[in-house]
Amino acid sequence: MDINDEPEAGGTGRGVHYGLVVLGLIILVVFSALGLARFGYTSILPAMQQALELSNTQTGLLQSWNLVGYLLTVVVAGLLAARFGPRVVISIALLVVAGGMILTGLIPTFRAACVGRFLAGVGGAGSNVPAMGLVSAWFGARRRGLAAGAGVAGSSVGLMVTGPLIPAILARYGEEGWRLSWYVLGALTMSVCVIVALFLRNRPGEMGLRPLGQSDSEKQNRSAPPVVSGLDWGSVYRSRSLWQLAAIYFGFGFSYIIYATFFVRHLTAEAGFTLTQAGRLWLQIGLVSVVSGFIWGSVSDRWSRRAALVWVFALQAASFVLFGLARERWGIYLSAALFAVTAWSVPALMAALSGDLFGARLAPAALGLITMVFGLGQALGPYVAGVIADATSSFGPTFVLAGMVALMLGAGGALLMPGPTRKPGAC
């Protein structure tokens, strides 16, 4: 069916556009691939470290192996999604995520645990990148930032689930609780995999629709989609703007993952929090961070992507430095609040920017490449943090380092982007 013959965006004859269903599924994918597989580790870490007698460097390496798996898969995930369709790729990748988490709980040694974390990272990229790429296919430019912001809220749901769930499991099952925690998270991911396989659709055209919020000018521009040739792919990778975005995304990956990985560990070991208190604060961050993508996605739609990026990174830099230096609980709570209101906004903005600059068909490849660089930052962050923590007997200096990176590469890099990066009504 030609897109010019499709009904108006928003109309299915029943008042609900299927794009909203797809958006709900994107949230579930992000919830599983990142909220459970990546950030679940934050809550499980203290008990797992004690049971396996791991150093701080080793705990950092476990998270780094997860992120190395993510890094090695991001570009391939975008290409596979463009070739075979996001639905198939996401479903298979979620199976890998679930298997990796279950394996992490089954195995008895540090080296074997690295394998499980690596597999969870591979599946995380294979599901998250195509899922966020669906935003450009299902939503017009005027709704894209807001939709991407909603999609990344899946990470917040992960915090809300793992914050109270993991401490409850650990309290009830003692030394083996950390293993059971991984089994439970793996089972939840398997459930999401089944739902996605049944209900996800790759494009609005499959259902006789056009993207939600698509303007008439966008409709004309997309009425004859170009064939994706080798030259088209090359133009993405040669784009100067793309590499600027990649550098900014690297700064986000390196800085935020230090905060997110060692948040509970720092609170319980150095700030006098119990595991239950730390889990409750992690839950509260999850509750507030639900709106972070919405807020900054809307800001970017109304003003510019660049302005949104500068503000987000400035607030995150303040959060990280404050967390590392705070000696009173008010400082810790303020740090948590600043992180919560900005937490998942950068991935949302990057997904929106990929669609703005490269269009719906090439957005997955563009997002895959910048996410690869982002993944490099993520992979380095926990390892560097663990080494510094072992050398200084504190995670405080690592959070200060994260803040400096967010300020210089993130906010500084966004300021250097040429012109206001805004695409309110055109593709």
pLDDT in tens, 239-290: 777 888 888 999 999 999 999 999 999 998 888 898 889 999 999 998 888 8
| H or E segment to which residue 266 belongs | helix 240-270
* Whole-angstrom distance, CA of residue 140 vs CA of residue 137: 8
User: Is 38 a domain residue?
Assistant: yes
CB 241 within 8 A of CB 357: yes
* Whole-angstrom distance, CA of residue 40 vs CA of residue 182: 8
More confident of the two residues 275 and 358: 275
Give the model confidence (pLDDT) of 10-41 as tens digits. Answer: 444 456 889 899 999 999 999 999 999 988 99
Q: What is the pLDDT of residue 232?
A: 57
Tell me: pLDDT of 419 over 60: no
| H or E segment to which residue 382 belongs | helix 345-392
Query: Token digits for 291?
Result: 């709106």
User: Is 427 a domain residue?
Assistant: no
Question: Residue 134: helix, strand or coil by DSSP?
Answer: helix
Domain range enclosing 325: 12-204+233-415
- Pick from 216, 149, 183: which is nearest to 427 by CA? 216
User: Is 352 a domain residue?
Assistant: yes
CB 68 within 8 A of CB 178: no
User: Is 75 a domain residue?
Assistant: yes
CB 23 within 8 A of CB 148: no
CB 320 within 8 A of CB 255: yes
Q: What is the pLDDT of residue 349?
A: 81
| H or E segment to which residue 39 belongs | none
User: Is 209 a domain residue?
Assistant: no
190-199, 348-357, 401-410: the lowest-pLDDT one? 348-357
Question: Residue 221: helix, strand or coil by DSSP?
Answer: helix
User: Is 216 a domain residue?
Assistant: no
Q: What is the pLDDT of residue 328?
A: 86
Q: Average the pLDDT over 94-120 and give the result.
A: 91
Proportion of the chain above pLDDT 90, given as a percent: 43
Length of the chain: 427
CATH number at residue 26: 1.20.1250.20
Give the model confidence (pLDDT) of 39-55 as tens digits. Answer: 899 999 989 998 888 99
Number of domains in the chain: 1
- Pick from 282, 315, 319, 281: which is nearest to 296 by CA? 315
User: Is 297 a domain residue?
Assistant: yes
- For tokens 């793992």, the residue is 162
User: Is 150 a domain residue?
Assistant: yes
User: What pTM, to 2 d.p., does this model score?
Assistant: 0.76
266-270, 296-300, 408-412: the lowest-pLDDT one? 296-300
